[in-house]
Structure formats: C-alpha cells, structure tokens
Structure 1
Amino acid sequence: MGERQVEFRNVSFRYQEDMPWVLKNVSFTIGPNEWVAIIGHNGSGKSTIAKLMNGLLFPQEGEIFVDGMKVSQESVWDIRKEVGMVFQNPDNQFVGTTVRDDVAFGMENHGMPRDLMVERIKESLKAVRMEDFERYEPHRLSGGQKQRIAIASVLAVSPKFIILDEATAMLDPKGRKEIMQTVREVQQERDLSLITITHDLQEVTQASRVLVMNSGEVWMEGSPREVFSSKDHLTEIGLDTPFVSKMADHLKAEGVSLAREPLNHQELLEDLWTSRSNM
C-alpha cells in the first residue's frame, strides 16, 4: 500500500441491492508517473472505476487506497486533493463566470491562501496554453478550449493523479489530439499518474499500460503492444483495434514478416523498411 499509488483490492460495486454487480472483485494498482488507459465497451464498469477512485461512489465490498489513504466518507476531501477528474462534457464542469473564477473554484474548496491561488491560476493556465483567456466567459470558448480549462482547474489543486473520463469524446480529431498532447506534457512535467478512460484507440496506444474491462472484471492487462497483439480476443468482446494493427494483420496474411505489433504508422513503416532491406 505504497505512497503515490492507487490500489483497488477486491472491489465489487453495484448501484442498488437488487441490481447486478457493475464491478466484480476488481484488483489492480496504478503506480507513480504511470499512464494507464482503461478500455471496455459501455457497461463494462470503466466509468464506475473512475467515480470510485475519486470518492463519488463507495464500494460495497473491497477497499480502495489512494496515496496510502483508504477511500471513505471521512477521507473523501483529502482524496480529492490527490485525484483530479475531468469529465466528458466540459459544460457540466463550469461553475464560474470567468475562466479565472473557474480555475479558482477547486482551490477555494480546499481553502488555499489567496496569493498561492493567484500563482496557481497563472501556472495552470500556462500549462494548458490558455493564459490569455483568464478574463473570458467560459461559454465563449470552443469545446477544446473548455476542456483545457477543465484540466487547468484540476491542475491548480496540484493532484498526484488525474482521471480523464472520456474527456476527449466530444471533440473533433484535431481537438482530441491537442488535448492529449497537452495532457502528456503536463504529466511529464509534473510527474503525475494519468488514468484515461477512453474509446479512442490512438489515445490507448500512447499509454504505458492498458486495463481491458469486460462485464465488470479486469479481463486483460498489459502494455498497448501486448493488448493489441491479441486482436482476436478483443474482437470477441466487441472492442475495435487500431487501423495500423489491422493493416499489419493483412500484411502478415500476405506473408510479410513484421518484427513487432506496430502501434502507429511510423513503426509500421520502419518495420516494412527493415523487412524490405533484408530481402
């Protein structure tokens, strides 16, 4: 039960007593500076995991530890200092009349001193490249800009873990790419652990580890390369694989040997180049 990690120990959860279990005996650990992507189709329990980590829900069975603290009604405010959450729809996250108020809101909740707040607002907006928008009204921003502000609001509280719960789902591909780029930079600069719950396979290939949820259980766990190389299993539970993965399969079927499961176009090209020059 180390510091700087999230641990689920045999966690089971259901929304009501007469309803089916959404999570069944789930155990895993997320370590410091790790980027873990959680995937699974709707109803697999992945969003419930996010809400349990942040103390929005509590398990009926098992225990959850964040940074050495057990998640409970008593510890929930301390937990929320450590675990920041960005949701799918940025409009539901806005509380302030200006961007500045909004970024300040979380810090006010935690009773931070004013001069620290001013400094953090500037730092957080700068981290997401939105420093010129401090006085803007949130409703005047684009979807991608709103999501950046939501991330800045979370960063301002300076958590050790950030959960993005389908946070890029409503953005166009360009906006999605920019947000993930921002998040990646922030993660590296601040030594955060990142948990992304996502449908976007491009996002998954960048993570250090992938948890595949199916019917409330951890169905598979591994690096993106390991997970995508068992495509048949993923298809079995109704999950798609990246285009580049499918392409690699077609090439193998045609007798082209590839050194590894490619995660992006760059890798596929390098492998093709290598196998070509060995002929």
Structure 2
Amino acid sequence: MYAIEFKNVSFRYEEEQPYVLRNVSFQVKAGEWLAIIGHNGSGKSTIAKLMNGLLFPTEGEILINGIPLSEESIWEIRRQVGMVFQNPDNQFVGTTVRDDVAFGLENRGVPRSEMMNRITSSLEQVRMQEYLLHEPYRLSGGQKQRVAIAGVLAISPSVIILDEATAMLDPLGRKEILDTVHRVQAAQQLGLITITHDLNEVMQAHRVLVMNDGEIWTTTVPRELVKRQSELQQIGLDVPFVTQLAHALESQGISLTEQPIDHEELLDALWTLHLNK
C-alpha cells in the first residue's frame, strides 16, 4: 500500500475551462521524499491541493494510505496529510507559539495532558522549544515556518506537504527549513512531498517528479535529472549553479568522474581530479 497514489487524475476548475492536470499517475511510498518541481502554472500546486482534499479530481482517483479521497473521507485524509504553505502568517491563529501549535489538537479533541506532550515534542523536533510563549508574528521567516511545521507534526500525520514553503525565505532560511524537514522525515519515516520551482531544493529528495503544462514530464532521481540541463531549461527550469559549473568545466575539457549535485561533491570531485594529475 502506498502513502499516496494518483490514478489517471485530471483536473479543471470549471467545465468550460481547459484542464490544468491531465492523466497524472504516480505513487509515494511510506517514508519516501518526493520532490515535485515545475515552472509556474505547470500544475504542481494543484497536485498539492488535491492531496489534501482542498480540491477533488475531475477525473481519476486519489488514495491516501489506501483510502479513496471523497467527501466522506475528507477529514480522515486531512488527519493523515499535513500541509505547510508558502506564507506562514496565513496559518497562524494563536497569540503565542504554544497556542498556535495547540490549535489543530484542540480541534481534534486531544486531551490536555497529551496535547502538552505533543506541543513540547513537535517544537523540540524543529528546535523551537525556547520560543514557546513568543508571539508568532515577531519571529523571523524561517522561525515562522518551523512553527508551522511543528503545528503539522503535532497532529501526527503520515505525510507532510511543503507547498513552496521556502519561497519567501533567504538562502540561509531555506537551508534551515530543508535541513529541519529532512531530519524530521528521516527520524519518523514520514512521507514528504516538497513542491517547488527551484531545482536547488530537490537535491536531497529520493525522487523528483517534473511537471510541465499539466502533465508529468519525467520522474527520476536528482542525480540523473541534473544531467538534462538543456532540456530543463527548455521547459523553463533553471538548473543549480553547481550543475552549470560542472557543465562549463566539461566544455573546457575538464571531465569529472560523476555529476556533482551540491557544493561538497563538486569540491571533492575537483580535489580528486587534482590528486590524479
């Protein structure tokens, strides 16, 4: 059984409008990190909303842990799938960090003793326990997103979706959030879906699904994807700087043994090349 399964899913907002998704099929295993990437308007954020029942497919079927998405199952689906959006301010409802993380638990009738344990545990996982009584609006962008992630973790989902959750952050904030979710995902074996248009953010994912004009363009692993630089640029995606530099070195006759996917691998490859001269 898959954590998430899309079966020939198509979607359009109105009957007379064109489809924004066409015949999309893929699966996400329990504990897997799938990155979904594509240019603006490619359909990736529509997929995120379909996973959480914010939208329902026009055609096809969606299953979450084997449960078909429907009007009858929507609340069970939302218990299992937590979502973090681009702007954390839109998710805050409490006057303190503690109150905000407690909100989802209160709505589910979680007993107070268990609620306090979950609040403490989820804030510790994102390293925000020292901010328990702080006002959310006084936090930095990265801290706000970590609180938003803690609020999702508190309801014990099996899958977490980050829908452009790092888009409003600076490079350091992006790295902090990605490191946080990677650590939590690995520790709890959660399914993780990251939605982005930035290829730099997908290098740690287990698999990458690339959307283009409402259809799946390819599904592969990050290391294979970055080898297709010219094709990616043709569908409106910028490849990471490390990839561009590696290709530039290749064009100058400097061959690396393997395509690096981050700065550390690039430095290791260059050092190995130097030692072998």
Q: Offset at 1:36?
A: 0.9
Is 1:253 aligned to 2:251, yes or no? Answer: yes
Is 1:121 aligned to 2:107, yes or no? Answer: no
Alpha-carbon separation, structure 2, partners of 1:14 and 1:88: 23
Alpha-carbon separation, structure 1, partners of 2:200 and 2:229: 15
Q: Offset at 1:202?
A: 2.3
Q: Offset at 1:206?
A: 1.2
Taking only the aligned residue pairs, the percentage that are identical comes to: 64
Give 2:172's aligned residue: 174
Alpha-carbon separation, structure 1, partners of 2:137 and 2:243: 39
Alpha-carbon separation, structure 2, partners of 1:250 and 1:97: 51
Q: Offset at 1:134?
A: 1.5
Output the TM-score relative to the length of structure 1. Answer: 0.96
Q: Offset at 1:201?
A: 2.5
Counting matched residue pairs gives 277
Alpha-carbon separation, structure 2, partners of 1:245 and 1:180: 20
Q: Offset at 1:165?
A: 0.4
Alpha-carbon separation, structure 2, partners of 1:142 and 1:269: 32
Give 1:239's aligned residue: 237
Give 2:68's aligned residue: 70
Alpha-carbon separation, structure 1, partners of 2:21 and 2:256: 38
Alpha-carbon separation, structure 2, partners of 1:72 and 1:110: 20
Alpha-carbon separation, structure 1, partners of 2:228 and 2:25: 22
Give 2:161's aligned residue: 163
Give 2:77's aligned residue: 79
Q: Offset at 1:274?
A: 2.5
Alpha-carbon separation, structure 2, partners of 1:277 and 1:140: 50
Say which SS state the counterpart of residue 226 (structure 2) adopts: helix
Q: CA RMSD in A?
A: 1.1
Alpha-carbon separation, structure 2, partners of 1:219 and 1:110: 39
The one of 94, 97, 107 equivalent to 1:96 is 94
1:106-153: per-residue Cα shift (whole Å, max 9, x none)?
112222222111100000111111112222222222211111110000
* 4+ residue runs over 4 A deviation: none
More deviation, 152-161/138-147:
138-147
Give 1:277's aligned residue: 275
Output the TM-score relative to the length of structure 2. Answer: 0.97
Give 2:4's aligned residue: 6
